[in-house]
Structure 1
Amino acid sequence: MDWLGLHFLPSMPADGRTLMECSHNPLLILLAYLVACAASFATLDIAERIGHVDNATARIRWRGLGALCLAVGIWAMHFISMLSFQAPLEMHYDLPVTVASLAIALIAGIVAMETLSHQKLQPAQYLFASICIGLGIAAMHYVGMSAMRSGATQYYEPVRFIASIVIAIASSLAALVLAIHLRQGSGVFHQLLKYGASLVLGAGIVSTHFMGMWALHLMVPAGAQFQPPSTENSLQLSLTIALIVLLIIAGSVSAALADKKLQAKERDLKRVNALLSQLDQARVSLQQVAHFDALTNLINRRGFNQIFAERLMEQKLAQGMLAVMFLDIDHFKRINDSLGHDAGDELLKVIAERIRSATRANDVVARFGGDEFCILIALHNTDEALNLAQRVMHKMKEPIALSGRRMVMTTSIGISVYPQDGETSEELLKHADLALYQSKGHGRNSIHFFSANLKTKASLELQLEEELRAALREESGLQLYYQPIVDLRTGHVAKLEALVRWEHPTHGLLTPDRFISIAENNGLIAELDNWVLRRACRDLGQLTEPGFEKLVIAVNCSALNLAREELLEEIDSALKEAGVAPHRLELEVTENALMGNISSTIMLLKEIRALGVALSIDDFGTGYSSLAYLKRLPLDTVKIDRSFIIDIPRSPQDMEIVQAIILMAHTLHLKVVTEGVETPAQLDFLSHYGCDYVQGYLFSKPVPLSALRPLVQQLNMRRPASLWPSTAMLEAVNLTVHGPGTQLVLTDSSDPRMDRFRPRPAK
């Protein structure tokens, strides 16, 4: 059976016999395999270069070089393998047909390189290209086989013939997939993958050839003469062809490697140029950013310091004066919290423009960050600084439209003057900041100049901070005093309020108003509150004798400490260490502390209440709590602030407020404690309107633990009727009270009118 000029052998011909004594030279087979592997590696390497070259002309050149390497490699593998074929016949090869096989291999290589020039292929494209390349390789093989001239006729077994074509197509498909996937990557592992893929592809190409050779049957006529095969010429020719092809491949791979390095250098050079350009742009931007605030376009702190140093040098030479003003926007945080940071940013822009419009052309206005601004002016006398500060404050009071609202902002200003308040910029800025701190401490919306006593006060506070840290660390100097809280129903001491004192080695016994604010401002309040809690629980554990075993100790909790999640664990730990029942501890929290973060506060208070600890709201009426929130809080007691008691019975308004608070608390099933009771008239009034507990100097000042037992025993010996005068005495001092039929109007304590009630002095 013949097809396309090839003879196929379905069965043995009758007029001849099969030549069975054919063999192959192992050395040449190995040489052919090495050539195939080298061609595969060159193909993968050049395919990688094609994928990284941007220039169209260069891509065409690389495709041509890759096609040449692949074609001559496959053809040389085939020809060397043919030369390794040894048969007892005289054989030679037809040159035109051999060249034709090389041309077919070149066409297959061009198709392969054209396919590999695409960045991504679809599965159908992979399949079509691999079929074309595989058929080209098979055609090259069988055309090359037909160039062999001898006295035998070539017949092919159909199954093995088809198998050789399938292997060629499969090898082509594998080559395409590997080449496309391996053209991205770098490093030693990537290179090893390429070597491994080259060995696999070389084996596939060699397998195509030898499957075709396995399908070959040489048929010789009966009586033909045989002769021993000659291998010398075949070996020399094979080595020559292999050397030439390997040189071509090596040159191509070297060119690809050199081009890769050159392109990498060009890419690095472009990247360096781009980076230099970006650095130039960044340097310009950084110069702008380094000296100007992005939000307000005012000079920032760094730019201000640079100008400040220059102006200071000028005034030193001219013996002139400078003023530094620190401005802080009052309650700016409320804007961010209520309207959002975007609205806050818009407000800062308006404020910056207001400040700039109030200053002169030569004045320097800077934003230091947040809501802090600074102004630097040259002046002849301090009145100029005061006038400028007043102009700024006047400008600030103009209404500002923001987020559909009209609001008025105020500012606190601190001023320091050169040379009287300092010689360096650091000193002047620090002193202006101290003056600003004084303005904020005096109710805000005010102007203060630096004075020497501010520096003394700041130094004292710094010293007290260091000594307070040492006192907490060493547990020395701090003491607890206790003030009795009397139950008006029984006349006995029912509770004790724990009040911290500090026995300072220099300043004597300090009350909390001297050091609590220092602890809050410097992160010591949690440690101080925890010390008070543990010491109070320890002292309570010692009060176990009759008459003391049911006493409850009330411990104050600061607003900052109430926001800590660790508070619950600290309370539980203090109770367990002291062996005290939780119901003997009462935690006092201020009204404003409760309203700080109402959702998380309610959750924390419920967890504390679940321990069995009682809860009391301290300083009630002085803050901004809402009755709607108050009814949700898990409270036991309301403590009326002494500011409402101090003017009773002279103030009917205070009497009405106290009546309303007692009625409201009892309506919510809360007990009422009134502090600051100092006169019998106050006591009689509170008893008449049903107050549950009282405390104050009428009974005792706070005393240390050592003096507590006799004090409590003395107070408990008094009968309830002897604690207060009769109602007749109440009338005798002309108290104006409302009878049972009087309507009491309860107002929300968040009403701004409640601001007139000042917080009590420190206990």
Structure 2
Amino acid sequence: MLLAGPDQRLQFANAGFTRMFGYTEAEVIGHRLIDVLAGRDTDPALIHEIHHRVPSPGGHHNEVLVYTRAGRPLWVSGLVNPVFDDAGRLLHLVYVLSDITLAKIHEVLQYKVLDAMLHEQSLGKVMSLVCLEIERIAPGLAATVLDVAHGGSGTWLRGLAAPSLPAEYADWLQHLVVAPEAVLHCCEERVVVAVPEDLLLDPGANDALDAPYRLLLRQLDMAACWIRPIEAKNGEVLGAFVFYSRAPHHPDAFEQRLVELCTPVCALALEREKTRAHLHQLAFYDVLTGLPNREMLYSQAERELDEVALSVSTLAVLVIDLDRFKLVNDSQGHAAGDALLREVGERLTRCVRGIDLVGRLSGDEFAAILPSCSVEHAAVAAERLLNAIAAPFALEGGVVNPGASIGVAMFPEDGADMDTLLRHADLAMAQAKVDGRNCSRFFNDGMNRVAQERVALESALREALGDGQLCLHYQPQMFCGEGRPLYGVEALARWHHPRFGNVSPERFIPLAEECGLIGAFGEWALTEACRQLADWRSRGIAVPRVAVNLSAQNFQDVGLAVRVAACLRSYGLSPDSLTLEMTERAMLDSAEGVQTSIHAVHSLGVHLSLDDFGTGYSSLSYLHRLPMKELKLDKSFVQDLDDSPAARSLIQSVMHIGEGLGLTVVAEGVETQSQFDFLHDRSCAVVQGYLFARPMPAEQLERWLDERYPPRRSGTGAGVLGL
């Protein structure tokens, strides 16, 4: 209790004041109370209001943040009662101050945060409320909350609430990646402080927040930061508080106490959210396989269907039912059946794209939803799923060879809604059972014929790789100089099937990639081209080099360079006799091992050529870093030369790129004399196309060489034709 005169200057202070604030009576006599107690974060507007309302009759009440003599903040409830004489003149002011700091904190915890949780507010709203209330009680702070997120790439902390920070910072916080273990490590003492001229975190600690984070804080004019992990009772890190201050100070006892009392409530909210997520998992995901259950899959599929309908695309619905699953349950028990169902769920998940959905409908029935999926792709996907399911699976009672029947329905042809599509796919699956099981059937007969033909073509391609149906034709590549000496030949795959006739490479090469044959296909083409080149050399036919096309999947094989070296060695060829062509897709492929394979092949001395340049990403940043020897100008540009100024400009640009990087530019698809003249005038190094020769079998190429470059033979088989 205190007594002041009409001028608000103190005349008396009791012992309770001394105990609460640390001032002696002598130190405050003659001073205004608010001037004594105001501090760093005391609201100046409230001070002004108190100063002007104090003399008014009837007294008044305020809650205000003030500071002790030692600088410790306190929230006080201040009651001011004026004392007037009979004439109405103000004689005295009586102040009654009560410490309500803990009451303030408990108000936040009990009446606001817990109330928000009881009323089912979202976790983000609850945490934002906590941050705002902390900032209201401790105005010098800005508070944020991070929570622990789990995903395929691991565990990290992500922004959950930052209500008082600028929008761009809050957005950036959503993408902050900080390992919870790093937060614990750098917060072993629970507090880490920064000042502008130092690192954000203690230089001796393991800095969990990176340099851009520190720079951003300085841009926000923040001078101090400390972190407090939010932990469950078992010590698990659920999240973290991050507090910022524009004043470079360590957190005082009041701020620490505030955080200590709020942290358990936040832990409760985060644990509650985990519980809700678990209940959601139980409600919408299959307990046995972890896949979405029928309800969840149906809901997700409906959303996909809406998006596909808006984009005027297609969607496939596959119903997958295991064949003779009851026999496993009956012969080996339900535990074995459960193990098989879990394995099938994992196999299905591994076989689909990232955008596809897989779920368990019931019992031994699964479903896959494939958006943006053509009929042919659906057929390939169904075959891939059948093969994956059919792989042997070891159980305690022995090895089983599971099988499945798959029914396929297509949107929009077979139905406009998920109910119809699932029903039609189920009918198609039943037909697959009738047709002998372990197969797939389309609901629409026309689609079924396409699918069966697609499967038959894949089977035929597998046979063709082993029985000699495939062959290589060779198209000459010539220098543009006088006489057009031979630069080399490109090996191009051809396939003639007894039933399907001549199958276009545009059809069977993508098929080989989709069904997993491209590795074997590339190895066959490489071996056959090297064998043929060695045969020509042994007979004195001087073909300088042969170019073989490899796919992106071939370059993903880290053993590619070893196989290339072995092939060259077995046929006695020098590395510079071989050129491997890759597309821009292969060059830019981020799969592990691609860059390693490219550099390993180059280190052998084999030439590398970038095929179809200009049709893909055309990333010059990759081009100058990778050991390319050639650029192949795509034929689509060459064919437009006569009619398209843009094509002519693009070709000239490619020429300049090749010249600047020291690369040989090969123009393919040259069909007219005017196209050749344009390329020749722009100093294009090498050309190939129908103007000179079509791709031809090895024997026909030999006759063509006889006619164009007599004599072609030398004693050693060396030399370049036409020189």
TM over 0.5: no
TM-score (norm 1): 0.39
Relative contact order higher in (CA < 8 Å, ≥ 6 apart): 1
TM-score (norm 2): 0.41
Structure that is richer in helix per residue: 1
Structure that is richer in strand per residue: 2
